């Protein structure tokens, strides 16, 4: 109980802790919303040392009348320095004898019975209602590839960690703003010819309009909380990032037409209907199609598409859609790492490799058809494990970095 919670209660015995000179009487705690000078002058509660001392004396007197047996204790060392007892307790009777430093054997015995085995869950296959639910494809498959328990906790237990406070806009919000602005820009610039015809003032005006529109999607509450200075900085960041990327796309060889933006697609794997959203689909010269996924940060290695199972399954999943794409690629917007990274039937743009055997480090994957066969088999296996209820704690090296579900899986005990 706290001091106030003991008011009016009677006890056979009471033990009060923390009774050092540093803690009792407590330090003054003036109300932060009232002028301190006013609080001190009127001797308002918790505003001055004298008030706290008088309140502490009264509290001790109440405790004496509340319990037949009253004890007090405190920690006498802090940061290697000795701490004296509260001056209000100096006349109290001091306990005789020295406390034993011997370890209580009961705790040692208890420790021997603590299990070192992480939580073990029986496999519970998906029911018909769960199978009908449209899971977010890339997220579920990526979590399963990283750690089956992570996917189970996230998708079936719905154990989603609460986002902690962030200064300014969160990484998720900043990424969403980039996607929104690009969606608006390529709703006006529909092909490579229109992009190359844009003079610098017109392109700057279009970027400004797109950035303003994207930032306008933030709620009034969020805008007020973030503040105008952060929004101005984000406006400048987005304008620079998008302007640099459009300059890069102007230099792309050949022609392209924006065939789709933010298109929703579905695919079935192991009896699960998986839903995904494609950032962009380009129709290239000769009728070829390239699916593009924007990355506002540093691009990831596409070798992860060919691990077993793929640790980054989003683009491989796009590669399984019908009609099959001729190329899939990241579009990395980050300065210093700009460009496309992907694979295709041809090297349609710089960064898209048509040597899949070298890229995948697998001689059996000679082209896109073989790649799709590999992805279909490996991703179907991951989806089947999820549908079967697999939930063992088996994390990859980076799975725990952003998971925040350690209290559920007890990974620390597992590692011991």
Instruction: Provide the pLDDT for residue 395.
Output: 87
Helix (H) or strand (E) holding 196: helix 192-197
- How far is 64 from 341, CA to CA, in rounded Å? 75
Instruction: Provide the pLDDT for residue 415.
Output: 60
Q: How confident is the model at residue 263 (pLDDT cuts 50, 70, 90)?
A: very high
Tokens of 34: 């009232």
- How far is 268 from 383, CA to CA, in rounded Å? 10
pLDDT (tens digit, 9 = 90+) per residue, 186-240? 999 999 999 999 999 999 999 999 999 999 999 998 999 999 999 999 999 999 9
Query: Which alpha helices (H) appear in 90-191, and where do they start and end?
Result: 105-112, 128-132, 137-146, 148-151, 171-188
- How far is 281 from 273, CA to CA, in rounded Å? 22
Tokens of 328: 């899939």
Q: What is the pTM assigned to this prediction? A: 0.69
For residue 162, pLDDT over 90 is answered with no
- How far is 60 from 8, CA to CA, in rounded Å? 13
For residue 359, pLDDT over 60 is answered with yes
Tokens of 144: 């399963």
Which residues, including other chains, have CB under 8 Å from residue 246's CB and lie 6 or more apart?
185, 189, 195, 203, 207
Spatial CA neighbour of 2 closest among 20, 21, 16: 16
Instruction: Provide the pLDDT for residue 274.
Output: 87
Write b or e for each residue in 13-38: b if 16 or more Cβ atoms lie within 10 A of its Cβ, otherwise e. Answer: ebebeebbeeebbeebebeeeeeeee
pLDDT (tens digit, 9 = 90+) per residue, 289-347? 999 999 988 767 899 999 988 999 999 999 999 999 999 999 999 888 899 999 999 99
């Amino acid at each position: 109980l706290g001091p106030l919670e003991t008011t009016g209660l009677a006890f056979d015995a009471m033990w009060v802790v923390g009774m050092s000179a540093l803690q009792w009487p407590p330090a003054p705690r003036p109300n932060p919303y009232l002028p301190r000078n006013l609080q001190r002058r009127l001797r308002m509660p918790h505003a001055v040392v004298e008030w706290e001392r008088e309140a502490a004396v009264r509290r001790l007197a109440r405790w004496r009348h509340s319990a037949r047996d009253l004890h007090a204790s405190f920690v006498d060392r802090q940061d290697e320095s000795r701490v004296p007892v509260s001056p209000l307790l100096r006349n109290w009777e001091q306990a005789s004898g020295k406390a034993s430093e011997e370890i209580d054997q009961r705790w040692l015995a208890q420790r021997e019975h603590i299990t070192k085995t992480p939580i073990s869950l029986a496999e519970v296959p998906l029911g018909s209602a769960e199978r009908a639910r449209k899971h977010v494809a890339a997220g579920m498959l990526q979590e399963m590839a990283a750690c089956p328990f992570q996917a189970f906790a996230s998708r079936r237990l719905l154990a989603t960690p609460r986002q902690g406070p962030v200064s300014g806009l969160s990484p998720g919000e900043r990424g969403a703003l980039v996607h929104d602005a690009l969606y608006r820009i390529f709703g006006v610039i529909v092909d490579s010819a229109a992009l190359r015809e844009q003079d610098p003032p017109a392109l700057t005006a279009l970027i400004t309009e797109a950035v303003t529109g994207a930032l306008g999607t933030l709620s009034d509450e969020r805008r007020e909380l973030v503040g105008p200075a952060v929004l101005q900085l984000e406006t400048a960041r987005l304008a620079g990032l998008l302007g640099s990327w459009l300059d890069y796309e102007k230099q792309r060889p050949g022609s392209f037409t924006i065939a789709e933006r933010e298109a929703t697609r579905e695919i079935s794997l192991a009896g699960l209907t998986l839903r995904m959203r494609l950032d962009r689909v380009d129709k290239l010269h000769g009728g070829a199609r390239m699916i593009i996924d924007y990355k506002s940060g540093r691009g990831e290695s596409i070798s992860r598409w060919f691990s077993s199972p793929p640790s980054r399954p989003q683009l491989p999943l796009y590669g399984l859609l019908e009609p099959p794409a001729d190329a899939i690629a990241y579009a990395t917007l980050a300065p210093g790492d700009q460009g496309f990274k992907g694979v295709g039937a041809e090297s349609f743009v710089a960064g898209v490799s048509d040597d899949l055997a070298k890229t995948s480090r697998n001689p059996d994957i000679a082209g896109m058809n073989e790649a799709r066969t590999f992805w279909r088999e490996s991703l179907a296996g991951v989806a089947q494990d999820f549908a079967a209820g697999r939930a063992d704690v088996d994390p990859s090296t980076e799975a725990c970095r952003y998971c925040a579900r350690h209290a559920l899986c007890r990974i620390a005990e597992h590692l011991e």
